[in-house]
Amino acid sequence: MPAIAAGNLLSSDPVLGALVEGLPASVVDGLSTFGQQWGAAEIRDLGRVLEANPPVLRSHDAGGARLDAIETHPAWNALMRRSVGAGLHASIWDAGGEEARVRAVARAARLMMAAQVEPGHLLPIIANNAALAALAHAPKLSEAWLPLARSRRFDPRSLPLAEKTGAIVGFATTEKQGGSDLRAASTRAETAGDSLYRLVGHKWYVAAPTADGLLVTAQTLEGLTLFLVPRFTPDGRRNPFRIVRLKPALGFRALPAAEIEFTGTLGLPVGEVGRGLVTVQDTQAFARLDGALIAAGLLRQGLAEAAHFARHRRAFGAPLIDQTLMTRVLADMALDVVALAALAFRLAEAIDRAHDEPLEAAFARLMAPVVRYLTAKIGPALIAEAIEAMGAAGLDEAGPLARAYRAMPALAVLDGPGNILALDVVRVLRRSSDPLEAVLAVIEDGLGQAARSTLNVLRAAGAVALADEGSARILVEQLGLTVAAAALRRRFPTVVADAFLESRLGKPWRATYGMLDARFDARAFVDYVCPKL
């Protein structure tokens, strides 16, 4: 069975090509160069190498002194260097030239391609991107940190900020008893003078424990506050906190995620003291978009692997791709892959336009948790189906699908589990009906006259969710599927949107793939989404 040949991750993906088709030519050329570089065999092999060489904690040196250092394989730094150099950690904030008006969409394409090489290293990358939104609440801190957090140079050295050529900022908000309920944080912060606080407490899951700075939630007398905890104190000494252990968790083997303890660690408030929840909320749309894009990249990869296998594997006298049941399963999967990518890119487009267009800003507020919810729920099942299509070959750790399958539930939890996302949608609707009307306008624009009855159904579902939070998931799923269908109509052949609408919204709930009927050309769907290479 031949492996998928190395090649350009953009030109070999008609779906991604359609999603960036309207961007300026110079931006598309840059994306093509990125796709060629990241699709090269030696770069794609770095993901396999990292899976086989997980990080190692060095808590103490030979003399017994605490180090709290994490050793990673050189492949980790190689991928981080390429991602930072391409601006994946910050280009949404500072890309210039013709990319300036399409920053989020252009970065979305890069992120989706990079995820297919190795998703774990992207967690510190997307954390830094979201952290920049929080730092906007602290102008004095921004002066020192933004130039380095936006730098295109990855500097893994553990040094004071003034000696660095680039910096990464991560998050440390999750606690054992709190999880998504940030108000339940038990970490305490007491004033230490000169705008500094001392933090005492623990964080249960930190994706980038050796970042140059961590955004940490802690309780003050005024309430929950967000702090920037630098790796080194202002006088150049190491800021004391302990890495208790690396997390032996399902998810990303290459990621040095850890449990940490603060022991009088110095931190500086980010934003108004006592209003940390508001500051954190400003980062969520970026984190949720990025989680959806990483998932979309992995789903594209899963479908491509399954289709490639089906073209080359013969069973019962014919290639699998020519056998009707397999073709319909793959075609059904292809509809979700295209729809989720289109949905995520529509959110990226809204973020690009939000500053100048209030309706797009309202759309983004409501749809960020919806987009993340839908990718989180569809992702694990689709990767499992791709593995099943390949049989034992799909389980092989030498291939990418086992890695993708481990990543899917971890991505879902890191961005907030389904109930949290659904409740966030309800909270947005409680504040104002404007976001829902903005979303409905997008649906009507995409689906035309056919959307009128759907709009009434969605308004009714919104009213029910406001009265009964237990029904919120119904609203979220219906919103996600309908906006996805509208996005498909804008970018893809009409038959693709029609098949998605009929199979996802026009029929009762289904629990498996392969439910398309014979009226749709299943083989054409597969060949369109995953052309033979």
Q: pLDDT (tens digit, 9 = 90+) per residue, 153-212?
A: 999 999 999 999 999 999 999 998 877 888 889 999 999 998 999 999 999 999 999 999
Q: Hunting for tokens 């398309």 — which residue is that?
A: 516
User: HEC profile for 161-186?
Assistant: HHHCCCCCEEEECECCCCCCCHHHCC
Comparing CA positions, the residue from 528, 533, 532 lying closest to residue 16 is 528
Q: Could you say which DSSP state residue 318 is in?
A: E
Question: With 80 as the cut, is the pLDDT of residue 340 above it?
Answer: yes
| 7 CB neighbour count, 10 Å cutoff | 16
DSSP strands (E only) in 358-484:
none
Rounded CA separation 433/458 (Å): 12
Contact 221, 269 (CB under 8 A): no
110-159 pLDDT per residue, tens: 999 999 999 999 999 999 999 999 999 999 999 999 999 999 999 999 99
Residue 6: the pLDDT is 87
Hey, what are 457's tokens?
Answer: 């159904």
Average pLDDT over residues 316-328: 95
Q: Could you say which DSSP state residue 322 is in?
A: G
Fold of 285-529: Butyryl-CoA Dehydrogenase, subunit A; domain 3 (1.20.140)
Average pLDDT over residues 390-394: 95
Q: In this structure, which amino acid lies at residue 4?
A: I
Rounded CA separation 224/221 (Å): 8
Q: Hunting for tokens 């059904």 — which residue is that?
A: 332
| 132 CB neighbour count, 10 Å cutoff | 21
Q: What is the pLDDT confidence band of residue 217, given thresholds at 50, 70 and 90?
A: very high
418-451 pLDDT per residue, tens: 999 999 999 999 999 999 999 999 999 999 987 8
**What is the DSSP track for 267-311?**
EEEESSTT-HHHHHHHHHHHHHHHHHHHHHHHHHHHHHHHHHHHH
3-class DSSP state of 494:
helix
3-class DSSP state of 5:
coil
Q: Hunting for tokens 């190491």 — which residue is that?
A: 238
Q: What average pLDDT is seen over the chain?
A: 95
Which residue spans of the chain are classified as CATH 1.20.140.10? Answer: 285-529
Question: With 90 as the cut, is the pLDDT of residue 512 above it?
Answer: no
Predicted TM-score of the model (pTM) = 0.96
Rounded CA separation 346/108 (Å): 10
Residue 32: the pLDDT is 98
473-487 pLDDT per residue, tens: 999 999 999 999 999
Q: In this structure, which amino acid lies at residue 154?
A: F
Average pLDDT over residues 353-382: 97
Rama region for 63: left / alpha / beta (φ>0; ψ in -120 to 50; rest)? alpha
Q: CA geometry: angle at 284 spanning 283 and 285, to 5°?
A: 100
Could you tell me which residues are beta bridge partners of residue 220?
223
Q: What is the pLDDT confidence band of residue 259, given thresholds at 50, 70 and 90?
A: very high
Rounded to a whole number of angstroms, the distance between the first and last alpha carbons of the chain is 14
70-124 pLDDT per residue, tens: 999 999 999 999 999 999 999 999 999 999 999 999 999 999 999 999 999 999 9
Rounded CA separation 434/362 (Å): 7
Rama region for 317: left / alpha / beta (φ>0; ψ in -120 to 50; rest)? left
Average pLDDT over residues 403-413: 93
Q: What is the β-pairing status of strands 241-246 and 223-230? A: unpaired
Distances from the Cα of 117 to the Cα of 9, 112, 122, 417, angstroms? 10, 10, 10, 25
Which residue spans of the chain are classified as CATH 2.40.110.20? Answer: 157-275
Question: Which of the given ranges, 96-100, 410-414, 505-509, has the highest pLDDT on average?
Answer: 96-100
Question: With 90 as the cut, is the pLDDT of residue 415 above it?
Answer: no
3-class DSSP state of 4:
coil
Question: With 80 as the cut, is the pLDDT of residue 467 above it?
Answer: yes
Fold of 157-275: Butyryl-CoA Dehydrogenase, subunit A; domain 2 (2.40.110)
Residue 509: the pLDDT is 65
Q: In this structure, which amino acid lies at residue 320?
A: L
Rounded CA separation 309/2 (Å): 9
Q: How far is CA 483 from the centre of its chain?
A: 19
Residues 6 or more apart whose CB falls under 8 angstroms from that of 422 comprise 369, 373, 472, 473, 475, 476
Residues 6 or more apart whose CB falls under 8 angstroms from that of 265 comprise 198, 199, 200, 229, 239, 240, 241
Contact 459, 483 (CB under 8 A): no
264-319 pLDDT per residue, tens: 999 999 999 999 999 999 999 999 999 999 999 999 999 999 999 999 999 989 99
Distances from the Cα of 20 to the Cα of 10, 353, 360, 524, angstroms? 10, 16, 19, 22
Rounded CA separation 34/258 (Å): 31
Q: What is the pLDDT confidence band of residue 357, given thresholds at 50, 70 and 90?
A: very high
Rounded CA separation 290/348 (Å): 9
Rounded CA separation 231/241 (Å): 9
Q: In this structure, which amino acid lies at residue 66?
A: R
